[in-house]
Structures are given as structure tokens and as C-alpha cells.
Amino acid sequence: IVIIVATLLGALVIIGGYKIYNNIKVSKEKKRAKQERLEKLKPQEFTVKGVSFTMIAVENGTFQMGATMEQNSREYDEIPVHDVTLSDYYIGETEVTQELWSAIMNGDNPSKFKGGNKPVEQVSWNDCRDFITKLNQLTGKKFRLPTEAEWEFAARGGNKSDKFKYSGGNIIDDVAWYSGNSKSETHDVKTKSPNELQIYDMSGNVWEWCADWFGKDYYQTSPDVDPQGPASGPFRVLRG
């Protein structure tokens, strides 16, 4: 009996030691993975032809897309409100400035309201595609336009959302240039308060192109995870 007990105890000690070691190993791996993830989710700065810009990390999450209660109004293409889950991604801290556009597009600046730190405007969706193609060639990265769902999640503040009416607050003058304060012209980026993710001008200043085709009934059939928009449509989506 003593021998049997000793053998069993020995076996338990070995198994227990393995379990403890294995748990520590898993814990370290999880800790390392968490650190790597936190590092990945930090803002990233890029400099191209002497012009710098920042990309803000948006952590994966689920949100209600469409005309939610805090909006106090809705359009026909903003219903039904539906849950959408998105993977991690990055989005620009600000609109593309005229300085950055001109640097990438070899001096071209089609904007009506000139100013290096103002957002570029008077650009088509195809113009933006050409800009991104050149930016990727210069950086070796894979920049693209955000999907409409990605744009809206970022505008709402991602997982840090306080469910404001506008992007960053409930008082429009604090967070946006719009018809009531803009004097019908654009303004320098980062001159209004940012939202919960430290992204600027998601409400106001200029309309912003998304990757998606527009579909008036798309919200009724949209996938729940990483929706990409309809396969085709009459025009591309603008938000802002």
C-alpha cells in the first residue's frame, strides 16, 4: 500500500508540475500576445516626401450601425439599425490634408479653399483611388479607403464610445465645422475637439469617401461581420 501511494503521489507531483509549468507558459504567451496587441494598437506615424500623418488604431468590436436613438433623426437609408462586428483596423487621425495630397500627387492640388493644413477637396472617388495607389507605392503599405461600417464605428468612438449625437460630443460647435460656423469654407484639420479615439473632423468640415457602393436597401441584408457594401451601385458612399 505504501508503495502504491508513493507511486500515485509521484505521478501527481509530475502531472502537477507539468500543469503549473504549462500554465505559466500559457500565461507568459498570453502576456506577450497582449503586449504585442497593445503595441499594435498604438497610433502609427508615417512620413512621405517630408509630410507626416498619423493613423489611429480602432480595436475590433461590435456596435449598432444606423440611425440609433441619440441621433434624433433618420434617413431612409439609415435603417434598420443593426449589429455589426468589425476586425482591427487603422484610420486617419484627420482628413487627408492638401499638403499630403500635393506631396503624393506631385504638386497637384485641386482644392477650392487653399491651405496646406486644410483637407483636400474637389476630389472624386477615382482621384482618391489614384492617390492611395501612389501612396502604397511610396510606402510599401496597403492603405485603402475605409468601408462605411469602419468609418461609422470610428466616428462613434469605437469601443470607447460615449454615444454622442455627433462625433466627439453633443454640442456641434465643439466638434465640427458646419454651415452654422464655417462661413461656407473649409478649415484647418485638428481645430475642433477630437472624438473618444482622438480622431478629428468625423462630423463636418468635408464629406469623406468610403470604399462601399451605395445601396438603399443594403442595411436590410448587410452581413454582420466586416461588411464590404454592395457588389455594385449607382455611386460610392460619402459620410461626414
pLDDT digits (tens, 9 = 90+) for 20-46: 455 556 677 777 777 777 677 899 999
Average pLDDT along the chain, 240 residues, taken 10 residues at a time: 39 42 65 74 94 97 89 76 96 97 97 97 97 97 96 97 96 97 97 98 96 94 96 96
Residue given cell 434598420 in the structure block = 80
pLDDT of residue 9: 42
As a whole number of angstroms, the distance between CA 202 and CA 208 comes to 8
pLDDT of residue 25: 64
Q: What is the DSSP string of 26-51?
A: HHHHHHHHHHHHHHHTS-EEEEETTE
pLDDT digits (tens, 9 = 90+) for 117-133: 999 999 999 999 999 99
As a whole number of angstroms, the distance between CA 172 and CA 184 comes to 16
Instruction: Return the bridge partners of 58, or none.
Output: 89
As a whole number of angstroms, the distance between CA 1 and CA 34 comes to 48
